[in-house]
Structure 1
Amino acid sequence: MEERGAGGKQSKKKSTWPAIKSKHNVQINQLKNLDLFTIPDILTAAESRAFITVAESMGFSHQGSLGPAKGEAYRDNDRISVNDPILAETLWHCGLQNMFTDIKIRGKVAVGLNPSIRFYRYNIGQRFGRHIDESVELGDGRTTKYTLLIYLNGSPRSKVSSNSSSDRNSSARSLVGGETVFYNNRGGIVAEVSPVEGMALLHLHGDKCMLHEARVVSRNAKYVLRSDVVFM
């Protein structure tokens, strides 16, 4: 099944999004040149957790599929979809736009994010099977070219461990599973990305999209913010 950028039922509830600070000196970690890369700390821990709180207050709806027997990827997660140009612009200018200044695709340049913003929640046992993401035509020559995922929880930023009760409690609340895995044309693994709180993952989609999946969550819940990078 192909992930369609603007599909799904949209929430009509009004929400106050958390304030997002502009990030400076952000870095790209290339996993497959500029076809697939991550940006650590595009959201702070407080910003990430605030988005989770707002999303939970809005209420998720279950998203399934007909399954491989019907020609669709297996899908089992919960979802919220909103159309919010202001949120899209705020996220774009928090530091993402600086990562695309030198990226051109067939003469087009990045101009912002798709205002269709989605929040995904994967509870224990939920996953999204191997699939590709489609490009979306938004009109006026604007087309989405990259998928944007921002992990709202996952591995903590600090790898320092101790025997304190706060560290033990944090470990008990940490996410296990939910990796995003990319495959080449022969089925070999190109990259395996573990969710890290506040980290952005970007990859080409449309005719350049690599087959990928979200592995099953085995402890706690995984939260992701999803949009697309628009070119024109």
Structure 2
Amino acid sequence: MAPKGKKKDIIAPSTTEPHPLPNWPALQPLLSPLDLTLEHTVPGQIVTIPSLWTSTLCKNYTSFLSSLPLTTTPGKPKRGDAVRVNDRFQVDDATFAERLWSQTALKELVTGETAGATQEERKNLWGGNVVGLNPNIRVYRYTKGQFFDQHYDDSNNVVIPGEPAIKAKTTWTLLLYLTSPATGCIGGETVFYPDPPKKGKNVATPEPISIGLEVGMALLHKHGQDCMLHEGREVVQGEKWVIRSDLCVT
């Protein structure tokens, strides 16, 4: 659980000087939802979806994202923020968020009756009724020597445009990995640190949980008050490309 006063991942507002909306490539080819599964690495905390995107789609997007106006994060973070060294692009694009949600298998896997889960069990898992993804889309590129220090992800209140607009909150972080050791990216694992046992209990400190990069894999992890301390380890070779959004619930 995220203690008060700990370093956080702050989502910078993207409304001051909005970027033109990118002409995102088509989300093709993709695998059928029938060929994909939710893998519960840590029940109630960490879920992965291997091959949510195909390697061909990831390659197309890596090429496209390289053309976006990426900016390098400040070398000295604000007080209370975690140290992050990477290049990033951020835009509010509700249309692309909806495409990423509905045109891939993500919506069906998250809201469908996967593994026999009932509607109430899914609601308890995701923190509410999932209505889509955060329109705030973030693109991260980590090159050799870049990393994201230990931090917690905050929950945020968002509005999903529509008729009517939907007031929602974010409950789970979505990270979509486009590169991996197979593409020449070494390092960059996302590592989670479970809470240590309470004082007085003769229990060993839990081992860190390392999620290695896989091309096309989606990583979902719970954030807000129940977020686990985590980091993005240093990239030692190649480039790590990530698309970031969040699950939104009502």
Residue 114 of structure 1 corresponds to 134
**How far did residue 176 of structure 1 move?**
0.5
Distance in 1 separating the partners of 2:129 and 2:143:
37
**How far did residue 24 of structure 1 move?**
1.9
**How far did residue 129 of structure 1 move?**
0.4
Residue 159 of structure 1 corresponds to none
Residue 77 of structure 1 corresponds to 86
2:33 counterpart SS class:
coil
Distance in 1 separating the partners of 2:65 and 2:18:
10
- Given the two structures, how large is their TM-score scaled by the length of structure 1? 0.85
**How far did residue 45 of structure 1 move?**
1.1
Partner AA of 1:222 in structure 2: K
Residue 239 of structure 2 corresponds to 221
Q: What CA deviation, in whole Å up to 9, does each residue of 1:153-204 have, x standing for no partner?
A: 1133xxxxxxxxxxxxxxxx51100000000122744420111110000000
For structure 2, which runs of at least 5 residues remain unmatched after alignment? 1-6, 112-118, 160-165, 197-204
Q: 1:183 aligns with which of 193, 199, 205?
A: 193
Identical aligned residues as a percent: 34
1:130 counterpart SS class:
strand
Residue 207 of structure 1 corresponds to 225
**How far did residue 28 of structure 1 move?**
1.3
More strand by share: 1
1:31 aligns with 2:51: no
Partner AA of 2:235 in structure 1: V
Matches within 5 A, 1:1-232: 1-5=7-11, 7=13, 12-21=19-28, 23-25=32-34, 26-64=36-74, 66-67=76-77, 70-93=79-102, 94-101=104-111, 102=119, 103-105=122-124, 108-139=128-159, 140-156=166-182, 173-186=183-196, 188-232=206-250
Residue 166 of structure 1 corresponds to none
- Given the two structures, how large is their TM-score scaled by the length of structure 2? 0.79
Structure 1 contact 151–223 (Cα < 8 Å) conserved: yes
Q: Runs (4+) of structure 1 moved beyond 6 Å?
A: none
The number of residues matched between the two structures is: 215
Deviates more, 1:197-206 or 1:16-25: 16-25
**How far did residue 58 of structure 1 move?**
1.2
**How far did residue 49 of structure 1 move?**
1.6
RMSD of equivalent CA atoms: 2.2
